[in-house]
Structure 1
């Protein structure tokens, strides 16, 4: 092959590689602005059978609630939006974070029911690059952890340090709050982490295996994409490392049949946590379905945890 052909082939290969990086990056990390204020929150399409009717009732009840629109600007300049739901005006405030490509009321309708029953006010932000919040890059907790700290500051500014805060999240939302767990103010009384993963690398490698992509290649592509297109280091956050320095009590929850985020990831987070901790596992529950599968056990665990930490 002549020199010109070699150079042409290399150029084509480079262009193809760059194209692959761009496509993989924007398919994994970028999020189009497809949620508007006049569009109802999406439902979970992975709930079926006997759980579908129960989920439908929870989702409809959550969507019928009247929340106050709130907004803040993140430390890196992104406008973040959310809703504040007042159920008592007293006691602790829960700050709940939804999961990857999720929505607060889609992912948190079970927790919203619990909050209403307990008379606990709830702030539910749209995570960056989701819903009404700005940004186009989802970073698996690397930057979202700082958004969590900014929302905590919002609550401090609004209610003062005398009012306790409970952090809560599901899936990526759980990992978001856990990654921030080593920098929490003293009025954060506890954390409820439902099916959180350990690190961005761990979950990307796991998903790569599920789609039959070599896990090393999958993470290498994702890490390079994040660096090139988002300026993000996917290795810059770890839930276990933060939990070593955590002082707030933590309730870990995970479905034993979760194939998307294996329950062993919550076990690893639990083992790393040096703060007071509890762990509820739910037999038969797939990803983020523990409340649907065993509402009684879930409710009991949350109520007992809050009675110990937030009263």
Structure 2
């Protein structure tokens, strides 16, 4: 009798967890938690360019569906005579639930080395409009609009490189597959496709990898947001990219296994490098690798700008 009660209790608990995952999964997927520079500053973090004594200009872009994206343009440091050396432009692409402030350490590094840095909040993130995130399905078109506006604002942006972390890396790869103005990509901790990312998230939250649950969550999300999860695939994108790609990943990443970057590296069609950092987790690769991380980034950029 007691065993029957225990079995029934466990079964009800599992059913409850699965029901919650089915109902909440699409909401969590499409509506990430929003952080803003203002919120980060209130928590004591450096969140604006002036927190690092960096010059900046506001940057606003209208998307195809009339959302406003907000960001900053950070020019390189002035050299002799007050002129600014321009070795190229890097657009930084933040991760899910993050905002443009995530790119400030990179902007600080690039500022000192002659590169213009552009930091923009994706739709449904930071200070930008929108409340639905599609992990590249619409964001890659937003990014092309960003490049259009950047060319109007500053003229020459070449050579143009995308650097993204996590979701930002996935969007960078998807965009580079369709945008010829991009001359290089730095992709840190990208997932291989949205379907696999959802499976990994399932395991992280409920310790279960269920293809059925994955399918239900994605189908509900697709209907709600009117997009195709099948098309969100950095793995398909890298096969079409002919420009150099630097893949970066930490071996102890609990969110996106580093094998994802190894697989992307194997399938990339163009010139490619893979930088795996032992002991690094998700988004802390720079902290773990230190100056080696900076040197790898700058060497990669120098090859493109040469």
> TM-score surpassing 0.5?
yes
Provide TM-score, normalisation by structure 1: 0.81
Assess, with a 3 A threshold, how the Cα gap between structure 1 residues 78 and 19 changes in structure 2: closer, same or farther: farther
CA displacement 1:19-78 (0-9 Å, x = unmatched): 97553322331246663x74445879xxxxxxxxxxx7x768874434321111112322
Q: What's the counterpart of residue 26 of structure 2? A: 25
1:305 paired residue among 276, 285, 300: 300
Q: Could you tell me whether the CA contact under 8 Å between 2:163 and 2:169 is conserved in 1?
A: yes
5 Å-filtered alignment, 1:1-311, equals 21-31=22-32, 35=36, 38-41=38-41, 63-64=51-52, 65-88=54-77, 89=84, 90-105=86-101, 107-160=102-155, 163-186=158-181, 188-211=182-205, 212-311=207-306
Structure 1 residues not aligned, in runs of 5+: 1-16, 45-55
Runs of 4+ in 1 over 6 A off after TM superposition: 17-20, 58-62
Q: Could you tell me whether the CA contact under 8 Å between 1:204 and 1:218 is conserved in 2?
A: no
**In 2, Cα distance between equivalents of 1:140 and 1:177:** 10
Assess, with a 3 A threshold, how the Cα gap between structure 1 residues 60 and 152 changes in structure 2: closer, same or farther: closer
Provide TM-score, normalisation by structure 2: 0.82
**In 2, Cα distance between equivalents of 1:34 and 1:113:** 21
**In 1, Cα distance between equivalents of 2:279 and 2:296:** 17
Helix, strand or coil: the match of 1:94?
Answer: strand
The structural deviation recorded for 1:306 is 1.1
Structure 2 residues not aligned, in runs of 5+: 1-17, 78-83
**In 2, Cα distance between equivalents of 1:287 and 1:43:** 21
Assess, with a 3 A threshold, how the Cα gap between structure 1 residues 283 and 231 changes in structure 2: closer, same or farther: same
The structural deviation recorded for 1:173 is 0.3
**In 1, Cα distance between equivalents of 2:186 and 2:138:** 20
**In 1, Cα distance between equivalents of 2:23 and 2:123:** 20
Assess, with a 3 A threshold, how the Cα gap between structure 1 residues 19 and 297 changes in structure 2: closer, same or farther: closer
The structural deviation recorded for 1:262 is 0.7
Helix, strand or coil: the match of 1:28?
Answer: helix
Q: Could you tell me whether the CA contact under 8 Å between 1:41 and 1:103 is conserved in 2?
A: no
Q: Could you tell me whether the CA contact under 8 Å between 1:62 and 1:109 is conserved in 2?
A: no
**In 1, Cα distance between equivalents of 2:222 and 2:305:** 40
**In 1, Cα distance between equivalents of 2:109 and 2:173:** 21
The structural deviation recorded for 1:190 is 1.1
